Amino acid sequence: MKTKTSKGKKATQKKPCVHLICNAHLDPVWQWRWEEGCAEALSTFRNAAKLLQEHASLIFNHNESLLYRWIKMYDPELFQEIQKLVEEKRWSISGGWYLQPDVNLPPAESLIRHIAEGRRFFSEHFNTKPEVAYNFDSFGHSGGLPQILVQAGYKMYIHMRPQASELELPSDLYIWRGVDGTEILGYRISTGLYHTERNNIEQRLEEGVTQALELKRDVPVFWGLGNHGGGATREDLEKIDAFIRKEKRVRIIHSTPDRFHRALKDAAKSAPVFEGDLQRVFTGCYTSLARLKRTAQKTFHTLVQAETLRAATWWAYKQDYPSKETEDSWRDLLFNDFHDILTGTCTEPAEQDALDLYGRVSETAKRIRLEAAAAFNQGQRQEFPIPITVMNTNPGITIAPVEVECMISHRPLKGPWHLRLFKPDGTEIPCQEQQPEALLPFNRWRRRITFMADLPCVGAANYQLKAFEGEISPEVENPALNFEIGKKTGLVVRLVSGKGHNCLSAPLMRPLVIEDKGDSWGTDCWTYRKIVGEFKVDPQSMRVLEQGLIRKTYESIFTHNLSKIVMHTIAYTHWPAIEYRLRVHWNEERKLLKLSIPTEYKNEFISCEVPGGIIKRSADGEEEVFGRWFLLRGEGIDSRTALGVATNGQHGLDFKDGEVRLSVLRSAAYCHEQG
């Protein structure tokens, strides 16, 4: 008797399959420096190639074009062997990124570059384009990432963190909807981790079989020694072979992420939706090694500016484009995005290596940027006493304050002199003199001026400085923003909105000392709210450093125990912004420095930039991650008012009762885990 079936269906249900995805998670930097990571990549890849020759059904998976570059550079024969294994489909190029970066802190441009750099390398050398991206160990995933992934051609994204105890997902297999509405199939590793230990492969196989039978669909088991490389072992392969021989309820195959994705075609149709970003885990990483994060942001923007300027001069003036220099610099910058470098969970020597690498990128960018300035100034020579070229690559800001230092003449001049600024057509531009970096006397030989520059969207503007004999009476204008510095606090105590209301509920940028018992990662730390100290202002330090046509600068010095903060509050006369420059001498143990931004706006959320989008963070006092800026919207009569804060490498904050507390630095130990 035959069983009747509907059209296109089999009489018996197909067995679910356990996909064994062999890999060797290899951090190029963590408890070790990059040279050791490189050596381990060579060892791991050699071992993988050898085992593939010994075991006919094994497939080895690895991503990160950085590691393949190292193999190509230091062992060309092994690289050629890997190319052959990839062609034979024994070695799978998976993921396809440059490395597994942090995907919370770098700008969207960097994440796109990670994909593009990996895509180019793997296409050129292996003729492959993975469909599944993964960042197993990254500490949270931006809600802007789905859009980036889909536009890069990916069809699925695999991750391990945050784990189930840190973030509830509707299923291990789900549709991830990003902040812009873009959707991509997501999978969170739910059987074990992204690697196995020396003695638990059989346990992981049992767990995979159990899950496949319960879910009645294919599931993956990621296996192979990891973190410091390793991958498959002969002992584990023998155990796997034995397990496959006796297990008859499911199929077990050596597989790849792309093959696993293709097997999920039907299951994906009914996968539940999860919307937003994948947070949170390791909140201390938003602030640990703050110096590294500040340097990262500054170096990124320096490189973007240099690259943009050279693209403009290539187009407009036929100047040679520095392809090799920019490509090498981008790879150096991307290296430091690694999820154990930029997050601040590496060792002190590794941090120094990262700072050195940022220095190389910055130096290269400055050189190619200077060549762009020369191109913008080519043509008929003009005799300017002190020529100034200001370049811009931000179309959104074409009027901005600029600071310039110069020597007033080849040798110090006798008597009083002052500087005046002009456009090339002779139109005078208001400027303001101030203290230069050098403190030498020499009759004010070295000078520094500030002025508001009117700049092209992309390009250069020219000015000239001229020295005139005699003193001038300094002219003064009021700042564009209506605010007040407290005589007892040294802080802004009143900031008036366009409707005439004070936006603040307490002094602005009050330095707070917060209890922080977390390790480098901030493991299991979700809030940093307990104030255990507060900096006090030295009344004798409060003064106005300068005031003129362009800006007014206040100085206040705050102390707490052996720590000190020198705060400069700068307000511009024709720019609606207050700029803060802080020099922090931090000598506190197990503490975190936060700056209080207390407002009258008791919103339920705060809008934060994240890589690839904007997301709302709840007003619950929990520590959250953001990119480069955040925004508080006014309420009631001030509904058309907004208070925005742009930072230079700070990525952690909490928000409650209208107050933002911005995390500035931590005093956690290097590469320290609790326990």
> Which residue is it, tokens 């999920």?
264
Place 1 in a pLDDT band, splitting at 50, 70 and 90.
very low
- Convert the pLDDT of each residue in 449-484 to its tens digit: 999 999 999 999 999 999 999 998 888 999 999 999
Domain residue spans in the chain?
17-281, 284-376, 399-469, 483-666
- Convert the pLDDT of each residue in 241-255 to its tens digit: 999 999 999 999 999
pLDDT the model gives residue 25: 93
Hey, what CATH class is 17-281 in?
Answer: alpha beta
- Convert the pLDDT of each residue in 487-535 to its tens digit: 999 999 999 988 889 999 999 999 999 999 999 999 999 999 999 999 9
Please compute, for residue 604, the number of CA atoms within 13 A of its CA located in the half-sphere on the CB side. Answer: 0
Q: Report the percent of the chain where pLDDT is more than 70.
A: 98
Amino acid at 415: G
Is the sign of the CA dihedral 199, 205, 207, 208 positive or negative?
A: positive
Dist. CA 177–CA 180, nearest whole Å: 8
Cis preceding linkage at 280, omega within 30: yes
What's phi and psi for 389, nearest 5 deg? Answer: -120, 125
Q: Which of 360, 346, 227, 371 is nearest to 291 (CA)?
A: 346
- Convert the pLDDT of each residue in 170-187 to its tens digit: 999 999 999 999 999 999
Ranges assigned E (strand) in 160-212: 173-177, 183-188
The answer to whether 69 and 98 are in contact (CB under 8 A) is: no
- Check for a shared fold between 17-281 and 483-666: no
The answer to whether 248 and 241 are in contact (CB under 8 A) is: no
- Residue 654, pLDDT above cutoff 90: yes
The residue-averaged pLDDT of 85-92 equals 98
- Residue 11, pLDDT above cutoff 70: no
3-state secondary structure 448-507: EEEEEEECCCCEEEEEEEEEEECCCCCCCCCCCCCEEECCCCCCEEEEECCCCCECECCC
Backbone dihedral region for residue 317 (phi beyond 0: left; psi -120 to 50: alpha; all else: beta): alpha
Place 10 in a pLDDT band, splitting at 50, 70 and 90.
very low
Please compute, for residue 539, the number of CA atoms within 13 A of its CA located in the half-sphere on the CB side. Answer: 2
pLDDT the model gives residue 2: 38
For the chain, give the mean pLDDT: 95
Give CATH for domain 483-666. Answer: 2.70.98.30
pLDDT the model gives residue 229: 87
Query: Six-digit token pair at 648?
Result: 């230079």
CATH 1.20.1270.50 is the classification of domain 284-376: yes
Ranges assigned E (strand) in 486-636: 492-495, 510-515, 531-534, 536-537, 543-547, 551-560, 563-572, 578-585, 591-598, 605-610, 613-618, 624-625, 629-633
Backbone dihedral region for residue 164 (phi beyond 0: left; psi -120 to 50: alpha; all else: beta): alpha
- Convert the pLDDT of each residue in 389-417 to its tens digit: 999 999 999 999 999 999 999 999 999 99
Dist. CA 667–CA 670, nearest whole Å: 9
Instruction: Name the burial class of residue 309, with classes exposed (0-12), middle (13-18) and buried (19+) by CB atoms within 10 angstroms of its CB.
Output: buried
